[in-house]
Amino acid sequence: MQLAFILYKYFPYGGLQRDFLRIALECQARGHAIRVYTPIWEGEVPVGFEVVVVPVKALFNHKRNEKLTAWVEADLARRPVDRVIGFNKMPGLDVYYAADGCFEDKAQTLRNPIYRKWGRYKHFADYERAVFAPESTTEILMISEVQQPLFIKHYHTPLQRFHLLPPGIAQDRRAPANAAQIRAEFRAEFKLADDDLLLVQIGSGFKTKGLDRSLKAVAALPRELRKRTRLIVIGQDDPKSFLLQIKTLGISEQVQILKGRSDIPRFLLGADLLIHPAYNENTGTVLLEALVAGLPVLVTDVCGYAHYIRDADAGRVLPSPFEQERLNHTLTDMLADDQRRAFWGRNGLAYADCADLYSMPQKAADVILGERV
């Protein structure tokens, strides 16, 4: 079959983008042709992919999205395909990969009522309705159990159109046989002493991921513990406001912010703790990448994958409503207890051996190709 994938932006380090690539490659491996429509493509194009960089620009994102939809519809009319798969909500999809949460629920619960009078609201509400309305025929690939009831609540979407996928952690994130050697080499490269403690926070979108909370927690560490603790932050985002916060908190010696990069497994093996106090997160793939690498996790319970950390007993999950003091105390306790961190790390590795945390691309391809109803 000829398959068309649509997404608003591709760059190598985003969670949605990595999921798209692995699903598309799985479909290609089964003998199907891949065409991709996107206004922005950064990075290499996989062999055999036809990437169409759609020439649309607009002052506002929702206007750009509408231009993209019209352009793609016209191109598909000239060059038809067998399936259209979207990684953002939009009309005309055969299959939608639900990386984002329910927009309508957020609009009603987190926004001022006047927001729903704006054109931006109307656009995103219409595009979400095009996927989830009862009369739509779009099949929905769900990656978060938490979000499905919200979509049904607002749109009365028939249950049979939802397909709940397992996580899709890449096997290269698992701790290899020479994990101890990789850890030692990494820590030597970053000049970390044996008793130094490395925190990592990984993910694009620093504000949503709660980086401000992490910085406050590092600043609140007891003096001696703070002196031997470093935080490395990795992600594609503008760090300007956070660099100012770091300076204001007086932790410039402790914190380093790096751009997105491809050697994340080395950081997961070299670190002592992953911190992820997100404000909201549909899933949180990095939580499971840490788990399968044997790295303990400190996470807020709003993340869709936080329950895996609890199930595996591979760290601590902070309850809602969020309290900064609780994060501060929990971080201090976790960093101060070497034996407990080792226990959580072993639990994560044991869980990685027995739980299905890897088959998302295969299961998604089954639905896309009509091999599973």
Give 122-172 pLDDT, tens digit per residue. Answer: 999 999 999 999 999 999 999 988 889 999 999 999 999 999 999 999 888
Let me know whether 251 and 335 are in one domain. yes
Let me know whether 146 and 291 are in one domain. no
Query: Is 373 part of a structural domain of the chain?
Result: no
| C-alpha–C-alpha distance, residues 331 and 231, integer Å | 12
Give whole-number Cα distances, 79 to 71, 82, 300, in Å. 12, 10, 46
Judged on CB neighbours under 10 Å (0-12, 13-18, 19+), 319 is exposed
Let me know whether 147 and 195 are in one domain. no
Let me know whether 153 and 178 are in one domain. no
pLDDT 10s digits, 256-267: 999 999 899 999
Let me know whether 6 and 110 are in one domain. yes
| C-alpha–C-alpha distance, residues 37 and 87, integer Å | 11
For residue 334, pLDDT over 90 is answered with yes
Q: 245: domain range?
A: 171-354
Query: Is 85 part of a structural domain of the chain?
Result: yes
- The pTM of the full predicted model, rounded to 2 decimals, is 0.87
Number of domains in the chain: 2
pLDDT at 372: 55
Let me know whether 134 and 21 are in one domain. yes
Instruction: Please compute Rg for the chain using Cα positions.
Output: 21
Domain containing residue 363: CATH number = 3.40.50.2000
Taking the CA atoms of 342, 346, 351 and 352 in sequence, report the sign of the dihedral they define.
positive
Give yes or no for a contact between 131 and 117, defined as CB atoms under 8 angstroms apart: no
For residue 373, pLDDT over 80 is answered with no
For residue 317, pLDDT over 70 is answered with yes
Let me know whether 132 and 161 are in one domain. yes
